[in-house]
Amino acid sequence: MAGSLVSEKALRQFCETVLRKLGVPAGDARTTTDVLVVADLRGIDSHGVARLGRYVAGLKDGTMRAKDESRVVKDTSATALVDGGHSLGQVVGKKGMDLAIEKARKTAVGIVTVRNSNHYGIAGYYSLMALEHNLIGMSMTNSGPLVVPTFGRSSVLGTNPISLAAPALKEKAFVLDMATSTVPRGKIEVHNRLGQPIPPGWAVDETGRNSTDPKRVLDALASRLGGGLLPLGGEGEELGGHKGYGLALMVDVLSGVLSGAATGLQVYADEKRPNVGHFFLALDPAAFRPLDEFRRDMDRIARELKDSPKAEGQTRIYVHGEKSFARMEKYRKEGIPLDPKTVENLKKIGKDLDVPAPL
Amino acid sequence: MAGSLVSEKALRQFCETVLRKLGVPAGDARTTTDVLVVADLRGIDSHGVARLGRYVAGLKDGTMRAKDESRVVKDTSATALVDGGHSLGQVVGKKGMDLAIEKARKTAVGIVTVRNSNHYGIAGYYSLMALEHNLIGMSMTNSGPLVVPTFGRSSVLGTNPISLAAPALKEKAFVLDMATSTVPRGKIEVHNRLGQPIPPGWAVDETGRNSTDPKRVLDALASRLGGGLLPLGGEGEELGGHKGYGLALMVDVLSGVLSGAATGLQVYADEKRPNVGHFFLALDPAAFRPLDEFRRDMDRIARELKDSPKAEGQTRIYVHGEKSFARMEKYRKEGIPLDPKTVENLKKIGKDLDVPAPL
């Protein structure tokens, strides 16, 4: 997609100024901006500054509190429960993962769940935080209903992502950051704009069966007629759709049920008070074996995979996170590409709040 | 598949006697038998007594020690590393999960990794153990290379299963127990025996591309020409194959790298000393919220999924574990069905060791 290039610095400055104008304290504006810009830097542009409008709207209508009202409500040496107080999901998410990391540094493991939060951006942001401390990080969140359970016809679960990051030595860290649906809704929207059919395995229409018509899927979702994204593995059980469905449910159990947040259909049921739940884990490899040995063996398995024979027509095998680290390096040097629609959105936000847009 | 029915009791007695004849102490023979028979009771017959021959062979040739030589080599309040000492995987696995549970009962979380172990049976056995203590249980293991990474042509990773169990109140517990490949090798073998093509998304042949010919896939695997099972999501990235590949790698990081076991191609590289790694987690929901509320909300999300509208042609939506609990009840009453090949194997084992077969 052709787009404009913007420098990381200018983009950060813009987002921070916008958030501060809406009453977000400086440190929290920096955190929220960081989560958004890191998503763009890593190439997950669906979760980057393209979503700034969503947070602006949330802050304006009060579904997202500008001041951090989160607090720890339950605490043990290795666990904690945080009530997000309907503050910004990024601010609450970072606080939750910071707490998990602090616990892991003391007792080898930290598990923190969060309730009454908002959309927290990319799951990978929080697992990545663990790497700076040579810890393994894990992050999950539930989200609004978009995914249809196996044999169902309407969406009950979110795209409920799972992220795990583990440090390596010379190789890049392993950073898995995946929605448990086959694809995000954004991919269906792109095919719809281009008038292209979607492959079976991505989504079902209002009949609950595979659809190749992106418009029909989106219309069904919009009018709440049913339909939705398929879990990883596609329709039915033949290609393992029940496994993707099970992973999505696992994420809701750990993020939603365990924290006492809403789950499934209820996450955004109260439009004024969404109740998103998160799950964070930090784990110290040194509690099991010397850190250097762990990191060396992370290199070994990465090399083994990358050096293994390639499929016909392929030249490279990737380890998860590798493409994103490469993009990050490139975009930091050359600028971050933004599509025309995102540029337009940012300009509109800037105009409304009297903040000069970066483009 | 038509088969003979055998009573749970007779099957247990046979397996225990066989294991004891091979020098396994009574308690450990009971544990190993329990893991096998529970697999059959839950309908995962590929991992049930059909595999007894594998353990008999391992005990005979010494790759599996009859006496439990495992020991805890590193220990903190919330974590432990166990060296399996090349003992039976089921015995070591149960010990690892018992330790994780003990820790979770004291400090809310227990994470135990295991190295130098053998094949431990179904991952779900160990997560299920947590339910008796009203804990959430998680279990993962690496395994011999059968799965091809995205864009690769030969298998590097195992079918590396993930299991998570969480207690409900009136509903059955949620028990996810899934290999991270689309299907197990056994399914390819069944199609081969029946002369049926396999669907694209299950496996690749020696070119690394989707194959519908089960014989070609199995031949390539057997002759180590390449080929193998596809990760959940199938070939390439279009249907999310890189996600299934990422999950398989995550399991190897947590089971293999974290414990210092072998990983990827190395798990069975030393035929005389396989070095399988496991990961166990036990987590106390009561550290986050009152147990009853947690269990009530597990019921709520299960009901929400099961009561949601069905796809055209479907009458029921399942929650993971439900089918297995139903099978368990049925088989306990009516007997466990064994296919003719398994019956023949058990008879042969019985004859060799002078133990009357249960059929």
**Does the pLDDT of residue B3 top 80, yes or no?**
no
**Does the pLDDT of residue B1 top 80, yes or no?**
no
Quote the pLDDT of residue B226: 93
Q: Chain A within 8 Å of B297 (Cβ-Cβ)?
A: yes
Q: Chain A within 8 Å of B169 (Cβ-Cβ)?
A: no
Asked if the Cβ–Cβ distance from B260 to A108 is below 8 Å, we say: no
Question: How many Å lie between the alpha carbon of B17 and the closest alpha carbon of chain A?
Answer: 36
For residue A193, count other CB atoms closer than 10 A to its CB.
Answer: 10
The mean per-residue pLDDT over the stretch B282-306 comes to: 98
- CATH topology identical between A4-182+230-289+323-353 and A183-229: no
**Does the pLDDT of residue B317 top 50, yes or no?**
yes
Return the domain boundaries, chain A. 4-182+230-289+323-353, 183-229
The H or E element spanning position B176 is strand B174-178
Q: Residue A327 is which amino acid? A: R
Architecture of domain B4-182+230-289+323-353: 2-Layer Sandwich (3.30)
Quote the pLDDT of residue B315: 98
Closest by CA position to B96, among listed B24, B35, B187, B177: B35
Which residues in chain B are contacts of A153 at CB distance < 8 A? 308-312
For testing the chain A interface, which of B188, B235, B253 should be mutated: the one with the most A CBs within 10 Å? B253
pLDDT category of residue B291 using cuts at 50, 70 and 90: very high
Residues 190-249 of B with CB under 8 A from A: 199, 201-202, 204, 207-209, 226, 232-235, 238-240, 242-244, 246-247, 249
Quote the pLDDT of residue B2: 55
Rounded distance between C-alpha atoms, residue B265 and residue A305, angstroms: 9
Q: What is the pLDDT of residues B67-114, one digit of tens each?
A: 999 999 999 999 999 999 999 999 999 999 999 999 999 999 999 999
Asked if the Cβ–Cβ distance from A209 to B136 is below 8 Å, we say: no
* Both structure tokens of A174: 């392993």
Q: Which residues contact B111 (CB under 8 A, 6 or more apart)?
A: A108, A109, A283, B78, B79, B80, B100, B103, B279, B280, B281
Quote the pLDDT of residue A224: 87
Question: How many Å lie between the alpha carbon of A353 and the closest alpha carbon of chain B?
Answer: 40
| ipTM beyond cut 0.95 | yes
Of B109, B209, B233, the CB nearest to A109: B109
Share of chain B above pLDDT 70, in %: 99
Q: Residue B94 is which amino acid? A: K
Strand, helix or coil for residue B166: strand
* Both structure tokens of A8: 């990381």
Quote the pLDDT of residue A2: 55
Closest by CA position to A221, among listed A235, A202, A240, A246: A202
Asked if the Cβ–Cβ distance from B178 to A246 is below 8 Å, we say: yes
The low-confidence residues of chain A, meaning pLDDT below 50, are 1
Question: How many Å lie between the alpha carbon of B20 and the closest alpha carbon of chain A?
Answer: 33
Quote the pLDDT of residue B224: 87
- Report the CATH number of the A183-229 domain: 3.30.60.50
Of B78, B178, B207, the CB nearest to A311: B207
Q: What are φ and ψ of residue A225, in 5° steps?
A: -85, -5
Q: What is the pLDDT of residues B173-192, one digit of tens each?
A: 999 999 999 999 999 999 99
* Both structure tokens of A291: 């850190």
The mean per-residue pLDDT over the stretch B48-65 comes to: 96
**Does the pLDDT of residue B318 top 90, yes or no?**
yes
Residues 28-67 of B with CB under 8 A from A: none
Half-sphere exposure of B73 (CA within 13 A, CB side): 16
pLDDT category of residue B359 using cuts at 50, 70 and 90: confident
Q: Chain B within 8 Å of A77 (Cβ-Cβ)?
A: yes
Give yes or no for a contact between A143 and A278, defined as CB atoms under 8 angstroms apart: no
Question: How many Å lie between the alpha carbon of A204 and the closest alpha carbon of chain B?
Answer: 9
Q: Chain B within 8 Å of A156 (Cβ-Cβ)?
A: yes
Quote the pLDDT of residue B278: 98
Mean model confidence pLDDT for chain B? 96
